Structure 1
Amino acid sequence: MKVISLPQRIIVNEYFSLAGSKIAFIFSKIKNFFSTFYMSMGTFLKERKAFAATEQSSQSFYRKKNFKALKPIIIIIAATLLIYGAVKIARSLNLGKRSASGEKIDVLPARASQDINKEYTFPLKNNKGEEVSKIRMTIDKAELRDQIIISGKPATSVKGRVFLIINLKIKNEFNQTININTRDYIRLSVNNNEEEWLAPNIHNDPVEVQAISTKPTRLGFAINESDRNLELRVGEINGDKEMISLNLR
């Protein structure tokens, strides 16, 4: 048998040539894989972005659709609130007009009363302290009440308390209008305590009395229901005083 012997250099070259082609083939496959993967990822991201935009548009559409559906309800609620507010304002204005027109306001009747009918005369002095005329104060009646009228509205005493109301008449004999603080002329003691004299905390001062006229008014004290031995002291602050014992029934 004839054996052909190839040079070793040729064998080595063939080996590297074969190995190089295989490596090139492998790199080509890897390149194709990454290229396909990159293209797939790009397509996926584009589709996802398009889907997100579509979803946002859909949500916006449904929000607009829901708002359009709710719009009539919102308008009805707003109109109802406006009408309710207008009715409340109209009623309050109507009540104010009724009160201003002098409509009668009912309060509870007096719990007890006492007729006094005493008249007192006091000097009317000008700014210089000179007497220019006389004023006459008549104490008509004393009452115990649970309700009174203050500023045109009923006021009710709290539990355990009651109003002692003193009804007065002020007569102005001067030829000009005068203003008088009636609370300066009356004090009250309770429970035989003549060390403490209470000033009226309910009054209409200063009371304006037109020239040559008589004006009714009142004073009041908020006292305890348990208070007994009520006594009034009547007179000028720096003048003589007269005592009036109250026995209200």
Structure 2
Amino acid sequence: MASILPEIAPDWALFLDLDGTLLDIAPRPDAVIVPPGLVDSLRGVAARLNGAVAIISGRPVGDVDRFLAPLAMPGGFGHGSEIRLPGGAPTPSEAARHLPGEWLVRLREAASGWPGVLVEPKAHGVAMHFRLAPEREAEVRVLMESCAADCEDFALLPAHMAFELRPAGANKALPVEVLMRHAPFEGRRPVFVGDDVTDEDGMEAARRHGGFGLHVGRDFRGGSAEVRAWLARGASA
């Protein structure tokens, strides 16, 4: 029996993943489309929750700010490698690590011979996408595993048609834990909305603070379009 989707309540602190949750997955990381009305919905929900809305994304903060301009929302970026408190500037978290420069050289050299495989550098990590070349999945995995084996500071993370190297201590629970210690999040009921295995850490953190998680695939039958409609309802409630 399908669960009943709860509507946004005024005592929530809302933590939102970006790709696959607010935005539809695109063939390339730079090809995502921000649907009309999304920024207005986020602004409206944030006003209703006294600012307790955060974006928790694997993307770097610059990407998120560009997509959601003119908003510069609090949250966690790079899987928690960077955190921005309300009204503040993004700063590296305790989990942040610098990616070995030689890894980018190795990945880009390999990708140059694999049409359709894309390398996405991040502030504290790197992703290798094979959505446009699914037959390269095993080769991308082996290459990324070889990098991770060289450095215990980084861990290999499966993603949507991609593999990512991120700092071993970085995850989406970290920004939830940090933000829940600060106004306006403190004392509210945290709700984490995400679509991927990387979001499960954030959902578990929300549960530890008396809240819960909503999974796009399990709780939103219409996918990210339904998430956006849900936000629009919450903004106008």
TM-score range, shorter chain: under 0.3
Q: TM-score, normalized by length of structure 2?
A: 0.24
Q: TM-score, normalized by length of structure 1?
A: 0.23
For CA contacts below 8 A with separation 6 or more, give which structure has more relative contact order. 2
Query: More strand per residue: 1 or 2?
Result: 1
Question: Is the radius of gyration larger for structure 1 or structure 2?
Answer: 1
